[in-house]
Structure 1
Amino acid sequence: MEVYLVGGAVRDKLLDYPVHERDWVVVGGTPEILTAQGYRPVGKDFPVFLHPQSNEEYALARTERKSGRGYQGFQFCTDPDITLEEDLSRRDLTINAMAMDGNDNLIDPYGGQRDLQQRVLRHVSPAFAEDPLRVLRVARFAARYAHLGFTVAPETLTLMTNITHSGELQYLSAERVWMETERALAERSSRTYIDVLRQCGALKALFPEVDALFGVPQRADYHPEIDTGLHVLMALDQAAILSNDPVVHFAVLVHDLGKAITPAEVLPRHIGHEASGVKLVNQLCDRMRVPNRFRELAVAVTRHHLNCHKAPHLKAATTLRLLQEIGALRDPVKLSCFVQCCEADARGRLGFEQQPYTPGEWLRRACDAVREVSAGEFLQQGLSGKQLGQAIEKRRLAILNNLREPCHR
């Protein structure tokens, strides 16, 4: 029985990139042998075992054969005679199809090291096209390594396009699509994930609400880049600078969905796109079963991002209602995430990338000041119930009125 380090740990070790987990392949082993040595079985589809001390995953070398639709439509064989090269041949990308033995000797039968050096994401074999999930995985790897100069090989992008056109993407579960998307939104360049999916047609198949933004014009005086889809990609670039939180990145991705359904006769204006966008955000979240923490911020940013841009000039009552509706008075973290999204939106425009976002700083100061108002003073005056709430609100409005800046037209 021989054991090899495989996959991402080898790839990232060669890239001098942080290695967060290690996976191992066992050649010449059987479930009985591993169980006898104290390994614990955990795999459902094929034999995977946890090491008795390290808890790292050890999988028996295997081959696979397409037997149905989607990423689960495979039959696996884990015969002890299966070689390491046969196991590696079933992997998605050449950079993921390398292994190391116990002496750190590299086994690279499919040119993964060469593609690492050339910064190319290339499929191992035509069998790549049998698994639709690989479309999302390649886009996610492109997002992870875009800052290192990695691009998708043209022939691999062609296979991804063929998968999209085959209709196989429809057999991916919403949970699995979201899992890959959430991970991609946490990568260094989440805009690259959207870019790659759009290039192969998968964005239209999986996220039609986002794909519909490309080609939609905006007013050039506000958006010199014109195209709404391009604006969203630029805003994602800014979001990556401001935060590494995928919740923030998702809210930025969907904040302008309402612009895709603006009637043609009123373009390039988008009056009321905030309200119309909320329905589309909820539609997308329902379909993809997006967790509530993503949905809540996305809805708040979609509904209120223009108010944030105008915050210093809003009426005191409007500002207080804004802070209440985004949950800022209960949780300062929600305000921080909301402002980061709005700043990314404001700076995600051609020529505005370096511009300070003063409305966000004003809204943070206003929230801090309003939060200082406590019920204690009014309780000492004997107020309670409705009167107490009215007194607190009156004090908060007075504070906001004093902070408010005049609107110059």
Structure 2
Amino acid sequence: MVTSRKKIKIMIVGGTVRDMLIGRVPKDMDMLIASGSAKDFMAEFPEARPVGKSHEIFFLKGLEFSLPRKTGRNIEETVDLDLGARDFTVNSMALDENGELYTHPNALEDLMNRKLRPGFRESFRDDPLRVFRAATFLARFPEFSAHAELLHGMAEAAKSGWIKNIAPDRVGVELRKGLGGAKPGNFLRLLIKTGCLAYWFPELEKADSIPAGPEQYHDKSVAGHTAEIMDLTAGNPLTCWMAMCHDLGKMLTPAEHLPSHHGHDKAGASPAVELGKRLLLPTRFIRAGETAAQLHMKAGNYRELRPGTRVDLLMKLHVSGLLENMCELCRADRNADVLASARDDLAEILKVSLPLKDRNLGEKSGEKLRTLRASRLKSLTRGRNWQNLLK
């Protein structure tokens, strides 16, 4: 939709151009009103809806049109000024209706080398949210790596305290975008590398210095293990968030008990809730993070659990709607489908009902139903064991 009408000139700009050049289908189409005022644009497109505060933005037919951040003496100078003020060099490109490409001086080189670099030196001071946008970018585009200038700029933003002034919901939005990326563990890796966890993610600040467990079970730090499990659950942002939260309790293990982390599951529930609330995540995410921390060890040992404990676990996951997510998390964490029978087990216990005489007895009815369900699971397990012996 590159177009020129009367006083206005519109160009495709930003990540849309980047995606086109690297062979990706753009998810969004961003447009720059390179020439003409807001009044001129509204005159041409009266159905456009204006939004935004810092510089005027319009929505029209599902597309976003923005006025340039800075204006020059002519279109070329205006475009150059606008591109020079954008977040990253690879996003600092524009395409006009004739197919002419305008770029930041480093844009094409960085795009070819798959490097993420700030668009200008003061980029992170002007908008500290770009720290988390960078983390999101590397989660979404794992073929890119951080340029030295990016690492320096992010570290400076953390040390200078600039990131403290971001609205919490904006950090949460970037996190959720990163959780939906092809390699979501990169979100955490970049923030750790640049020291940007302290203010918004303090629960994970020391994760890179704490062993995930005894050497026979883990060869990474908690940070390394968490990022790895996040990558293994890529494709489902909610499960990936659960992966990010599942070992938060290990941050609270006393130094004298390391590298073991007894009780880290229960200890991690509260930090998971605090982290989710700080970032103003949806309630479903907050509950999922808490559930992941609290129940992942029990779920991982599902085959060894007593029938009654299995019933309790299955019903908690069923009521919360998190059984499938927990299955994915445990498969990644244990490198095995340890909850392979959980779906069938749940289906079976849900078929169990109380006799009429045992209903409406308050807690006693609940206890009786649990006993019946546990008995049903015990029978199922016995049957499976016989089947295995006969194979």
TM-score using structure 2 length: 0.88
Question: Which residue of 360, 365, 368 maps to 2:347?
Answer: 368
Question: Which residue of 42, 49, 57 maps to 1:48?
Answer: 57
The question of whether the paired residues in 1 share the 8 Å contact of 2:140 and 2:183 is answered with yes
Distance apart, 1:266 and its partner CA = 1.8
Any idea what SS the aligned residue of 1:32 has?
A: helix
Question: Which residue of 97, 101, 115 maps to 1:102?
Answer: 97
Alignment partner of 1:167 is 2:161: yes
Partner of 1:210: 204
The question of whether the paired residues in 2 share the 8 Å contact of 1:110 and 1:124 is answered with no
Query: Deviation digits for residues 91-124 of structure 1, max 9, x if unmatched?
Result: 0111101011113222124232221111111122
Question: Which residue of 259, 267, 279 maps to 2:270?
Answer: 279
Distance apart, 1:233 and its partner CA = 1.7
CA distance in 2, matches of 1:263, 1:191: 26
Query: Deviation digits for residues 311-336 of structure 1, max 9, x if unmatched?
Result: 1221111111111222x1x46x5210
> Which residues in structure 2 correspond to 1:250-399 (within 5 Å)?
250-326=241-317, 328=318, 330=319, 333-347=321-335, 356-357=336-337, 359-374=338-353, 378-379=355-356, 384-386=359-361, 389=366, 392-399=369-376
Distance change (3 Å), C-alpha of 1:120 and 1:374: same
CA distance in 2, matches of 1:213, 1:109: 37
Partner of 1:2: 9
The question of whether the paired residues in 2 share the 8 Å contact of 1:297 and 1:338 is answered with no
The RMSD of aligned alpha carbons is 2.2
Distance change (3 Å), C-alpha of 1:79 and 1:136: farther
How many percent identity over aligned positions?
29
Tell me the number of residue pairs that the alignment of Structure 1 and Structure 2 aligns.
369
Moved more, 361-370 or 17-26: 361-370
Query: Deviation digits for residues 343-383 of structure 1, max 9, x if unmatched?
Result: 22223xxxxxxxx32x21022221122123356xx45xx65
Partner of 1:68: none
Partner of 2:233: 239
User: 2:89 is aligned with what amino acid?
Assistant: T
Distance apart, 1:393 and its partner CA = 3.1
User: 1:166 is aligned with what amino acid?
Assistant: S
User: 1:48 is aligned with what amino acid?
Assistant: I
Distance change (3 Å), C-alpha of 1:200 and 1:389: closer
Query: Deviation digits for residues 1-48 of structure 1, max 9, x if unmatched?
Result: 211100111111111112111111112211211121213322233211
Partner of 2:117: 122
Distance apart, 1:80 and its partner CA = 8.4
CA distance in 2, matches of 1:293, 1:344: 21
Larger RCO of the pair (alpha carbons < 8 Å, separation 6+): 1
Partner of 2:181: 187
Partner of 2:81: 86
CA distance in 1, matches of 2:217, 2:51: 55
Alignment partner of 1:32 is 2:39: yes
Partner of 1:350: none
Structure 2: any 5+ residue segments left out of the alignment? 1-7, 386-391
CA distance in 2, matches of 1:127, 1:226: 35
Distance change (3 Å), C-alpha of 1:55 and 1:336: closer
